[in-house]
Amino acid sequence: MNDLHQLAQLITACWRVSGENARIPTSNGLLDRALKATVESGAFPPWTRGKLHFVDSRIGLQCVEIPDILEWAQRSQLTSAPNPSYETTEVQISDRVARHLLSQLGIRAEDGKTWGSALRTAMDKAEEQFVGLGHSSVEEY
Amino acid sequence: MSVSAILQSKNTESAIMASEGQLDMSDPEALRSELEAAAPTLWKDLSAKAKSWTSTVEVRLRKDPSSAYPKTFNDPIWGDIVLFPWETLLLDSQLLQRLRGVRQLGMAHMVYPGAGYDRLEHSRGVVEAAERMVRSLERNAVFRRKFGKDRDDAVPQVTDHDVNSIRLAALLHDVGHGAFSHATEPLLRARLESEFDAARDVLRNEFEGVTAIAPAEVVSSLLILSNPLKTVFEHPHFGATPRAAELPLSICGRVLGSRSYLDAKYLSGVISGPLDADKLDYMARDSHHAGLPIGLDLHRLISKLEVVTVTPESTSNPEMQRRAREAKNQRYHEIGISLSGLGAYEQMIIARVILYDRLYYHHKVRSAEAMVRRLIRLAEEERGSPFSLQELFFDLPDDSVIAILGGGLKQDGFSAGGSRCKSLAAAITNRDIYYRAFAFAPRFIAGLRGLPEADRRDARAIQWTTVLNELSTLAGCDQVADQIYQKAKALIDRIPALVKTDLPLLSEHIVVDLPIYKAPVRGGDILTRTEDGYVAPPHLFFDPEKWSQAYEHQKQCGFVFTPRQYVKAVGLSARIVFYDRYQLVMDTAADRASKTAGEIKNEWLLEAAKHGLCSADCSDAYRQDAVRLVQIRISDLEQAIPEDIRRDKPDLAKRLHSEFAYAIPVGIAPSLHKVVVDGIRHLCLFLINMQRCGEFVNLTALDEKKDLQAKLKSHLVAREAKVIEGSEVGGGETDLVLSDELVIENKVIRTGTLSPLSVGNKFSWQARRYAIAIAQRIVFEVVAYKPSDETAIFPIADCIAVSPLPFGSSTMAAVRFVIPWGHSVPSHAKKPA
């Protein structure tokens, strides 16, 4: 199995077991930012260390692997087809399948829930940080 | 700026220094040492290659410095392309000439006859695209200094060093490609995976703002930073820039899309970025040569590039604000696109998707490229050792490489060309491309139609994830291909109608291919600026849902390819292997996608089953259009568990149902479903009998076979169940097999325990092995245990549990029934607390 596919399973399953809202915000660097905070808080199993790289890119903070992770999640049918600008993506597996995937990755459901909650909290903070950040308006031309 | 103006100023640094601060240059030698330490084999092999490829440049620089002069080329995309003297020096070396004949589009010319252009043509095109982008940004910088509400006279000037390093990066950006371009990139990376990762980390650490780095970019970077190239760049006669020591770092930075080692940082994305010269050239050129119109508005895209000014006030992005605060004058400048260029930008993203679907991932192109990868591995098998990195950079055009691997051409010091390679190479050369024998994709998964939507999504996700867990690597694809080959050989032996040729099927005749190396499209990675100076990524708005659906449907389809004469045998074999391995059946749409509709006869599955080459379930699954996988429902369990047990624990059926659902969320084959439900009833009654008769009470010894198994077997026989003892399956003797489908493993635990339901993982391992041997995903374990004390004697309802088998098994479950032995008579025991 490749690392990106494993990371896709880990992130979507943790998100699913930790709450009802199945949509993961993926635009404006929100997921990048939330994932960085979650990783820095010590979440996720040891095999993920060194697999995620965060870069201060020309559009701000980016997790290098996120486009591939989202692609793998969609490819594996774990999430819905994202729209091209990656506004949000819907986790479309049930809680029981998410737990099963965590078990396959050698992760206890309780840990997945804790990490998923940490990711959701970090996402909320990222969204707060971004209040007022709008896209450029395409109606201008 | 004209060519002559640039030539005049080539040895004098620009009078106008960058306003974004002096460059803080790392020690290039330290970086070289770091790369050498992180990736010693890559560094050594590539340095050797660089030395050999640039040997003529060094000689020309030393002996005849005036021999280099500008050259003008005619180009189908850009018209005239002018190269500077230092560029023609490199162009005339093997470093770049080896790209002549390395086809940009791999094997696409097998399908699109015009699509045979090479990476040398593309590299020259990127120079011109980069030149035009730089000039457009330079012009925009002039406008930005003079016009608009947010005019900014601090926008830095473009320097000669920037321009020349960008042009050299354009020329050299693809030198990291081996033969057949992207077709062999995964092979290259697989050779030295950890070194590629380590080198990538060093590069990312050195060059600011770098995101993804492809394996070929790692190779290009290492070549550019190598000592032989350093010698060239720093030679006094090379003449591209007076800041020669910095040049390799500047070129490498541009190839990687970094903002390091630039005077005007808004040029950072010209060679590698969301809208870069590489993409503009290859998209236009691919479309032109393949004859595929894609509506790419090159001129609009280039003319609408913008310099955006980032200040702490003009953005809400925290990192961009921080960088602005830390910059000189609290501002920095980035590449962006004008709002009025967004339409063309969206068009470019869509065009790229179309190119992937219609050109790069055309099934025949994929088949031909998979054959080439197979040829390389076969050559390695035949010669008994893998090719080194140096060998994989063949230094020859693609066609010559095929001829050498096939033995038609000889090259000194290169051993290849055995009989099997000869045949495979001939098939590639003669365009005898393999056909599709089997298609697999999530949308083709059969047997889910009758399920509720949520269950259908779950089943599809978990089944497809299991497939991808294996097929997301080349090694995984090879393993499945080998299994299909073995099965196909056995089928051909037993069912002669499958093939009409005497030529034997060989392992290289089967390739499994799933397109997984595509770089995802990420539209919002570029900045835009509103009229009042606000800076943010753009909001791209076209009908995303329809677009992505079409995209998703197009892109994800795996194929098993084989020569035409073996399509039936391999198609049949692939069906059986996918069922055995993943319990997956593909519907008739998959047959249409592989053009095998009606080719694979259902009676062959029956015949295969008759010869023991296919399970009855598999044969049924392909012959019936029914829900293929079923859950163990609460109602099934209520029916199976005797009333006596359920009375004590009314929620027992519900608990076991959820344990089954957790252990095997996809469900099980219908034929097994009945056996499992019946088996649960038999075993529950067995527990009741054992408790009522007190057969194991007060025993001092209990034998697994003579006592436990004998009692269980006699119980099952008395209930008229079909039970076999000691069948030889899975490399050992199982205890019991119920109705030919369900393994019952018996165990006696001789030391005292308080938790018999969880003790003894090795039982599950053994049972799992046996279950796999009869292609089932569920096993029963009957465990007689010695209670440590009275608290370990439970009501029967608590003596049954279902759990997923340990050690990461994907879809198997163990149902455990536990019986106490050797304990005192229950009437003497205290009531458990």
Q: B164 falls in which pLDDT band (50, 70, 90)?
A: very high
Number of compact structural domains in chain B: 4
Lowest mean pLDDT among B72-81, B180-189, B748-757: B180-189
pLDDT at residue B25, rounded to an integer: 66
pLDDT at residue B763, rounded to an integer: 63
Query: Positive or negative, the Cα torsion across B438, B442, B448, B449?
Result: negative
Work out whether strand B778-787 and strand B813-820 pair parallel, antiparallel, or are unpaired. Answer: parallel
Same domain, B112 and B221: yes
Lowest mean pLDDT among A109-113, B1-5, B319-323, B809-813: B1-5
Report the 10 Å Cβ neighbour count for A23. Answer: 13
SS3 for B103? Answer: strand
Chain B neighbors of A55, CB-CB under 8 A = 204, 209-211
* Contact pairs from chain A to chain B, CB under 8 Å: 184
**Within a 13 Å sphere around the CA of A49, how many CA atoms are in the beta-carbon half?**
5
Q: Which residues contact B540 (CB under 8 A, 6 or more apart)?
A: A84, A85, A138, B342, B345, B346, B349, B523, B524
A102: in domain = yes
- The mean pLDDT of chain B is 86
pLDDT at residue B161, rounded to an integer: 96
Q: What CA–CA distances, in Å, run from B799 to B84, B690, B755?
A: 83, 12, 10
Lowest mean pLDDT among B42-51, B126-135, B696-705, B808-817: B808-817
B463: in domain = yes
A115: in domain = yes
Taking the Cβ of residue B475 and every Cβ of chain A, the question of whether any pair is shorter than 8 Å is answered with no
Per-residue pLDDT at B133 exceeds 90: yes
B118: in domain = yes
- Burial pattern B81-95, b for ≥16 Cβ within 10 A else e, equals bebbbbbbbbbbbeb
**DSSP code string of A24-80:** EE-STTHHHHHHHHHHHTT-S-GGGTTT--EEEETTEEEETTHHHHHHHHHHTTSBP
Indicate the residue among B240, B259, B293 that finishes a domain: B293
pLDDT at residue B21, rounded to an integer: 43
Same domain, B616 and B677: no
Polymer length of chain B: 833
B347: in domain = no
Lowest mean pLDDT among A90-99, B130-139, B225-234, B668-677: B668-677
Lowest mean pLDDT among B52-66, B306-320, B794-808: B794-808
User: Per the structure block, which two tokens stand in for B471?
Assistant: 């097929």
Per-residue pLDDT at B163 exceeds 60: yes
User: Per the structure block, which two tokens stand in for B191?
Assistant: 């050779």
A54: in domain = yes
pLDDT at residue B79, rounded to an integer: 96
The burial of B263, by beta-carbon neighbours within 10 Å (0-12 exposed, 13-18 middle, 19 or more buried), is given as buried
Same domain, B612 and B691: no
Cβ pair B540:A85 closer than 8 A: yes
Per-residue pLDDT at B552 exceeds 80: no
Same domain, B171 and B237: yes
User: Per the structure block, which two tokens stand in for B621?
Assistant: 């699954």
A89: in domain = yes
A49: in domain = yes
How close B276 comes to chain A (CA, Å)?
A: 14
Per-residue pLDDT at B554 exceeds 60: no
Per-residue pLDDT at B20 exceeds 70: no
Taking the Cβ of residue A41 and every Cβ of chain B, the question of whether any pair is shorter than 8 Å is answered with no
Per-residue pLDDT at B732 exceeds 80: no
The burial of B547, by beta-carbon neighbours within 10 Å (0-12 exposed, 13-18 middle, 19 or more buried), is given as middle
Of B219 and B59, more confident: B219
Per-residue pLDDT at B764 exceeds 70: no
Chain A neighbors of B663, CB-CB under 8 A = 100
Taking the Cβ of residue B458 and every Cβ of chain A, the question of whether any pair is shorter than 8 Å is answered with yes
pLDDT at residue B542, rounded to an integer: 54
Identity of the amino acid at B592: R
If you average pLDDT over residues B736-749, what whole number do you get? Answer: 85
Q: Which residues contact B605 (CB under 8 A, 6 or more apart)?
A: B572, B575, B576, B614, B618, B619, B622, B623
User: Per the structure block, which two tokens stand in for A44?
Assistant: 């996720």
A131: in domain = no
Identity of the amino acid at B195: E
Containing domain of residue B565, as a range? 434-515+556-623
Residue found by looking up tokens 């029956």 in the block: B606
Per-residue pLDDT at B275 exceeds 70: yes
Number of compact structural domains in chain A: 1
pLDDT at residue B547, rounded to an integer: 60
Residue found by looking up tokens 């259902």 in the block: B602
SS3 for B641? Answer: coil
**Cα B689 from Cα B694, distance rounded (Å):** 8
Element containing residue B322 per DSSP (H, E): helix B318-326
**DSSP code string of B597-630:** TTTS-HHHHHHHHHTTSS-HHHHHHHH--S---B
Same domain, B658 and B614: no
Element containing residue B817 per DSSP (H, E): strand B813-820
Of B452 and B513, more confident: B513
Same domain, B95 and B204: yes
Closest CA to A88 of A74, A77, A100: A74
Per-residue pLDDT at B473 exceeds 60: yes
Q: B35 falls in which pLDDT band (50, 70, 90)?
A: very high
A interface mutation test: which of B202, B211, B349, B654 has the most A CBs within 10 A?
Answer: B211
Dihedrals φ, ψ of A71, to 5°? Answer: -65, -45
* Helix, strand, coil distribution of chain B in percent, nearest 5: 55, 10, 35
Element containing residue B801 per DSSP (H, E): strand B800-804
**Cα B340 from Cα B633, distance rounded (Å):** 59
If you average pLDDT over residues B663-676, what whole number do you get? Answer: 78
C-alpha A38, offset from chain centre:
10
- pLDDT single digits (tens) B77-114: 999 999 999 999 999 999 999 999 999 999 999 999 99
- pLDDT single digits (tens) B347-402: 888 888 888 888 888 999 999 999 999 999 999 898 888 888 888 887 888 999 99
If you average pLDDT over residues B590-604, what whole number do you get? Answer: 90
How close B455 comes to chain A (CA, Å)?
A: 8
The burial of B761, by beta-carbon neighbours within 10 Å (0-12 exposed, 13-18 middle, 19 or more buried), is given as exposed
Same domain, B91 and B40: yes
Per-residue pLDDT at B201 exceeds 90: yes
How close B244 comes to chain A (CA, Å)?
A: 27
SS3 for B12? Answer: coil
Residue found by looking up tokens 């080692």 in the block: B261
pLDDT at residue B223, rounded to an integer: 97
**Cα B264 from Cα B275, distance rounded (Å):** 17
Containing domain of residue A45, as a range? 3-126
Highest mean pLDDT pick, A97-111, B367-381, B724-738: B367-381
Q: B727 falls in which pLDDT band (50, 70, 90)?
A: low
Q: Are B443 and B555 in contact (CB under 8 A)?
A: no
B546: in domain = no
Same domain, B770 and B810: yes
Q: Are A137 and B531 in contact (CB under 8 A)?
A: no
Indicate the residue among B260, B293, B326 that finishes a domain: B293
Per-residue pLDDT at B443 exceeds 90: no
B350: in domain = no
Of B290 and B813, more confident: B290
Per-residue pLDDT at B291 exceeds 90: yes
Q: B427 falls in which pLDDT band (50, 70, 90)?
A: very high
Q: What is this structure's pTM?
A: 0.80
User: Per the structure block, which two tokens stand in for B775?
Assistant: 């292609």
B313: in domain = no
Per-residue pLDDT at B830 exceeds 60: no
Per-residue pLDDT at B831 exceeds 60: no
Per-residue pLDDT at B544 exceeds 50: no
Cβ pair A138:B211 closer than 8 A: no
This complex has an ipTM of 0.90
Residues 65-124 of A with CB under 8 A from B: 67-68, 70-72, 74-78, 81-86, 92-94, 96-97, 99-101, 103-106
A interface mutation test: which of B342, B522, B531, B654 has the most A CBs within 10 A?
Answer: B522
Same domain, B678 and B716: yes
Q: Which residues contact B687 (CB under 8 A, 6 or more apart)?
A: B645, B796, B799, B800, B817, B819
Indicate the residue among B372, B406, B433 that finishes a domain: B433
Per-residue pLDDT at B514 exceeds 80: yes
Per-residue pLDDT at B221 exceeds 90: yes
The shortest CB-CB distance from B462 to any of A27, A74, A97 is to A97
Taking the Cβ of residue A132 and every Cβ of chain B, the question of whether any pair is shorter than 8 Å is answered with yes
Cβ pair B552:A132 closer than 8 A: no
Q: Are B297 and B516 in contact (CB under 8 A)?
A: no
Per-residue pLDDT at A127 exceeds 80: yes
Per-residue pLDDT at B705 exceeds 60: yes
Of B136 and A71, more confident: B136
Q: Which residues pair with B753 in a beta bridge?
A: B787
A137: in domain = no
Same domain, B116 and B71: yes
Dihedrals φ, ψ of B781, to 5°? Answer: -130, 125
Q: Which residues contact B669 (CB under 8 A, 6 or more apart)?
A: B583, B617, B621, B628, B629, B630
Same domain, B603 and B644: no
Q: Which residues contact B345 (CB under 8 A, 6 or more apart)?
A: B275, B301, B337, B523, B526, B538, B540
| CATH value at residue B287 | 1.10.3210.10
Same domain, B194 and B181: yes
Q: Which residues pair with B529 in a beta bridge?
A: B535
If you average pLDDT over residues B540-568, what whole number do you get? Answer: 72
User: Per the structure block, which two tokens stand in for B510?
Assistant: 């089967």
A71: in domain = yes
